[in-house]
Structures are given as structure tokens and as C-alpha cells.
Structure 1
Amino acid sequence: MPRTVNQQEDIDQKQQPVPDSEYARTIPCNELNVSAPFHWLSLGLQDFIRAPLISGFYGLCFMAAAIGIVLLVQWQGTHLVVMPSLIVYGLIGPFLALGLYDAAWELEKGHKPKLLHSMKAIGRNSSSQWAFAVLLAVCMIFWMRIAALLHALYPSVQGAPITDFLPFLVIGSLVGFVLAAIVFSISAFSIPLMMERRVDMMTAVFTSFNAVKSNIPAMIVWAGIICGGILIGFATYGIGMFFTIPILGYGTWHAYHDAIRKKHH
């Protein structure tokens, strides 16, 4: 079991802080107000405006990927390509978001963010980031296998009454919610933490999970805002992603700084 640094001792500085190099520890988190996500969103919008070139570049990347998914679904004429497409999108997204985190970090330090510098953020602690990508891939593949098994509950008769759909809808929704909550919990703050502090993947995952678990009301609001932004993006055939994803990316950086306790120097 990973150990959690005693929060009271950390506050009182009665002990030396645990170095970020320790493997698989849990960095303490702060208590978040339920209204905090709206502040992160506001700060994300400000960063979007303050870094128009970088915002536009990453916005175009996310928009192009979303439009590609929409066109693929229309071309194939089946919903079966939606899940694999979203999985690819979900795996590429966090790495593109690194550039947004870097830009927000530079703005925070009073620097002018540069596109090339933000692109190099992918290589900052790449071993932990790739390990996390593999973890996400395993979660997504497991999710697909569960979805395939649950499809057996789907009525085979056309025009079946709504009651025949209930087992599929109820069980599918519950399983999907649990898996989505787990993935969100381990990924909410992992990547910015790995980028800024260069911690190992397990430390980032444990810390993110602990921060989400300790601030469930605020994180439910933040998850709802993220889902809303993604829905707006796809509802506009991917075009809305140009705005929503960069703003949410910047907002995630500010969420991370609010949620994870800063180390002592």
C-alpha cells in the first residue's frame, strides 16, 4: 500500500517533506470548494485569450480529430466505430494537453509561452507519461471488452418493448459510470503532476485518486463541466472542440494547482 504523508505534520513542518523522487507515495491534497471548478474554467478562458497562437494550434488539433470521428461514423454508418474512435481520442488527448499545461505554467510564471516549448513538454518525464498511456490503454480495452459482453443483453428482436431494453440500459449505465469514475479519478491530475514534478506514474495515479476521493462534490462539478465541453464539441460536429478543449486543458492545470499541495523548499 502506498503511504500518505501525514497532513498535519506536513502543515506544521514537524518533519522533513518527502522528496518527489520517492516511489508510489501519495502527495497530500487541499480541500476544494464546490464552486472552485467555475473559477478554473474562468482562468482557463483567460489563458485561452492570453495565448492565442498556442490555443489555436492545439484547438485545431483537437477539432480535426473530433471532425475525423464524426466523418468516420457517418461514412461507416454504424455506431460500432464510436467506441474505438473515442478510445484513440482519449489516448491522444492527454498528450496534446501537455502543451496546454506547459503554456499555462509559463503564463503562471510570467513568461510568454512559446509553441515549440509547449510541444517539447511531451518529452518531460516521458517514461512515466508513456507508462500512464499504457495504463489508460489497458483500461480502455477492458472497457471495450465489458461493452461487448453487455451487448449480449441487447434485445435481438426488432421492435421489442422498452422493458426488454432495461437490463441492457441499467447494467450498461452502471458499469460505464463505475469505469468512467475510475478513469477520471486516476487521470484528473496525473499528467500535470508528472510534467511539473517529474514524479513516477504510480505516485501520480495515487495522488490523483486521493485528491478526487477527498473532494467528491467539487470533482463531480468539474467532471460535469468537462463532459459538457466535450458534448458541445461533438454537437457542433467537432468545431466546438477548437474552443472547449484548450479552455478545459488550461482549467485542468489550475485545478491541479488548487488540488495538490505544493512541496516545501
Structure 2
Amino acid sequence: MTTLHAVFHQPPSVPHPRVRALGIHDLRVALARGVEDFLAMPTHVVFAIAIYPIAGIVIATLTFEESLIPLLFPLASGFALVGPFAAIGLYEMSRRREQGLVSTWSNAYEPLRARSAGSIFAVGFLLMTIFLAWLVAAMGLYWALYDNASHASVPAFLEEVVTTGRGWTLILLGNLVGFAFSLVALAVSVVSIPLLVDRDIDALAAIETSMAVVRENPGPMLLWGFIVAGLLLVGMLPLFVGLAVVLPVLGHATWHLYRRAVAPP
């Protein structure tokens, strides 16, 4: 209990970071600087994110198991929910480049050895819980509409979904439920993990700051969520290979969005 209390609570004397107002210009600048970081550190980034396209391919392969076919879309789309935790190394690389420090593979994950590591893992665990809840909800929706029906292949499942009434019901309700989970994940993580990488702060304060950014900037943050979803979709289309570019750009861009959204201490 003592450890959990230390992770989620800071002394009352420590003020929460102050959030700033954001506009569309800030999103453009964050994306542009994310691209700059990616171009400046391509070799390190390729190593840092190599696991993500591989994980995507593994997920897609697993769904060819008959019982897992209905989870094809939830797994692929839900992959983005844990992305902010997976991008820790990218945040650190952007932070080091910003300060003129050398960035190498060996120091990209230094935040996981820092004092705030426990808080970072706590937020990561929360994101994984949201991801698993999304999978449970998606499978529950499928069972409610299809009972125990099975599909011989992915093409057969897709044909059933796009050519029947209940298939379109699944699409509509599934996207609505997925959107709700995505909003929760966005509010929890849009700046919380970059904040933990940057400062010695507890998990609860970081999450509250992230939620404050979304609360104070609902329009820009919703647009940011759509930008992230759109770019991830583009990256997934060519057998997930495009994620090798999309993920590092988004990771670096998220760091710069955090810099613009949260005032310096």
C-alpha cells in the first residue's frame, strides 16, 4: 500500500503543472517538429520502433484463428490505446535532442530507470486495462449480435459484416464504443507520460494534468485524436509496414504537443 500511495500521490505542497490553451497552429507545429526529430534521428528511431510493426503483423496473423477473427479490428485499432506507453523512448529522444544531448539506443529508455518509473508503469498499466476492457466490450458486442456464429476466414467475416444488417450494426456500435474508449485513453495519456518523462511527478498528478489539457482544449484535442487515428490507419494499410514511419513521427510530435500544452515549472 505504501508503494502504491507513493506512485499515485504527491505531497500537497507540490503544485500541479499549469496547462495552456492550444489551437490548430499548435498541432501543426507539433507534427512538423515530430517529422524534424524523425529525420534527425532515423537510425535510432528505426531500432526503437522496430517491434511495433512486428507486433502488428503478429496481431493480424493471430486473427486468422477462427475464434479470433472477430477481434481483428478491435486488436488493430486498440493497439493505439497503449501507444503512448510504447513511445517512451521517443519522448526521451526528443527531450534529449531539445536539450542538445546525445541520443543513443542505450539512453532512450532512461526514464524507466528514473524515480518516476513507477508512475510511468502505473499509467501504462491503466492504458493496458483500457485496452483489455475495449477487447472485452468488442467481443461482448459481437456475441450479442452473432451468438456463437463462426467464420471460416477473414474475407468471409468481412463479407458478412459489410453485406448484412447486423454487420452494419456491428460496425456502427463497434465504432461508437471504440470512440468512447479512445476518448478515455486520450484524456488519460495525451501528455501524462511525456510529463512523467520530463519531471519528477506522481501518476495521479500527471493524469489529472492530461485530463485538464483535454478539458481546456476539447476542440484541438479531439482533432488531435482524429489525426492520430487517421495516420495510424494509413500506417496499418500496407501490412503495418507504414507504422515504422507513422509511430516515431507521432511519438516525437506528442512530445512537442506536451511542450506546448504544459507550462514549464
TM-score normalised by L of structure 2: 0.80
Q: Deviations along 1:7-46, whole A, 9 cap, x unmatched?
A: xxxxxxxxxxxxx854896432111112321211110111
SS of the equivalent of 1:116 reads: coil
2:127 aligned to 133, 136, 143, which one? Answer: 136
CA shift for structure 1 position 59: 3.1
Unaligned runs of at least 5 residues, structure 2:
1-9, 150-159
Q: How far is the alpha carbon of 1:168 from its aligned partner?
A: 4.0
| Residues 71 and 144 (structure 1), Cα distance of their counterparts in 2 relative to 1, 3 Å cut | closer
> In the alignment, which residue of structure 2 is the partner of 1:43?
33
Question: Which residue in the other structure is 2:228 paired with?
Answer: 226
| CA offset digits 1:99-124 (Å, max 9, x no partner) | 11111011111222122111222222
> Does 1:177 find its partner at 2:211?
no
Contact 1:29 1:259 in 2 (8 A): yes
Find out whether 1:237 has 2:227 as its counterpart.
no
Q: Indicate if the aligned counterparts of 1:190 and 1:207 stay in contact, CA closer than 8 A.
A: yes
Secondary structure of the corresponding residue to residue 146 of structure 1: helix
Identify the residue that residue 96 of structure 1 maps to in structure 2: 86
Counterpart of 2:140 (choices 138, 149, 163) is: 149
Question: Which residue type is aligned with residue 172 of structure 1?
Answer: G
Q: Is the 8 A contact 1:23 1:203 kept in 2?
A: no
Per-residue CA distance 1:146-205 (angstroms, 9 max, x = gap) = 223322442569799855456544443333222211111111111011111121111111
- Contact 1:59–1:246 (CA under 8 A) maintained in structure 2: yes
Contact 2:57-2:239 within 8 A present in 1 as well: yes
User: Which residue matches 1:15?
Assistant: none
Distance 1:151 1:122, change over 3 A: same
Structure 2 residue 72 is the aligned partner of structure 1 residue 62: no
Q: What displacement does 1:48 show?
A: 0.7
CA RMSD of aligned residues (A): 2.9
CA distance in 1, matches of 2:141, 2:67: 22
Cα gap change, 1:62 to 1:144, in 2 (>3 Å): closer
**Structure 1 unmatched ranges of 5 or more:** 1-19
Displacement of 1:96 in angstroms is 3.4
> CA 1:111–1:144 in 2, change beyond 3 Å: closer, same or farther?
same
Which residue in 2 is equivalent to 1:3?
Answer: none
Instruction: Say which of 15, 28, 31 aligns to 2:18.
Output: 28
